[in-house]
Amino acid sequence: MDFITSPVFVLLILAAVAIAAFSFEPTKFVGAWREIGALYESERLPTSLTFRDVSIKLGADDFAHIDAALDDEGFWMVFQGPTQGKAANCVMIPWDCVRFRQDKGDKQNFQIRGKNPIELMVSAELGTALQRRSDRFEVEDQL
C-alpha cells in the first residue's frame, strides 16, 4: 500500500501547486510602473486632468486604467485604484523623456526613457495630444 500512496501524494501536491500557479495574478503595475515610479514619481497631482479613465498598455503587461494630464511640465499619469505602497500613485514624465514611435491601428506607441526604454500604448485621442506635445518640446530643444 505504501507503494501506491507515495505517487498519489506527490501527484496531489503537484496538482495543488499547478492550480495555485495558474490562479495567482501578480499585481500588474509591479514591473514597468514601478520602474517609471522610481524615476518620475511625483508627490504633487496635476492641476487638472485632461483625460479620465484611459486604458493603457505599459511595458509587456496590460496595465489598468489611469487618469492623464498634459501640461508644460510633462505627461502626468495618475493610477486609478490603490497601489498599497507597492508603486507610485502619480508620475510626471518630462517631455524630453517621451518619444513617439508609431501608429498601430487605433493605438499609438511611445517610448518612455528609463534604464531600458519602456513601451507605452495609448488610445489615438491621448496619443495625438501626446505626440503634439512631445514633438513641440523636441523642436524647442533643437533651437
Within a domain: residue 135? yes
pLDDT given at position 28: 45
Structural domain harbouring 115: 32-142
Provide the number of structural domains found in the chain.
Answer: 1
Nearest 10 degrees: Cα torsion 27, 33, 34, 39: -170
CATH number of the domain enclosing 105: 2.30.29.30
Rounded distance between C-alpha atoms, residue 18 and residue 14, angstroms: 6
Residue 142 is inside which H or E element, if any? Answer: helix 124-142
Nearest alpha carbon to residue 66 among 28, 74, 76: 76
69: left (phi over 0), alpha (psi -120 to 50) or beta: beta
Residue ranges of the chain whose pLDDT lies below 50: 1, 25-29, 139-143
Question: Model's pTM, two decimal places?
Answer: 0.69
Within a domain: residue 25? no
pLDDT given at position 63: 66
Within a domain: residue 20? no
Residue 20 is inside which H or E element, if any? Answer: helix 2-23
- What lies within 8 Å, CB to CB, of 85 at 6+ separation is none
Within a domain: residue 22? no
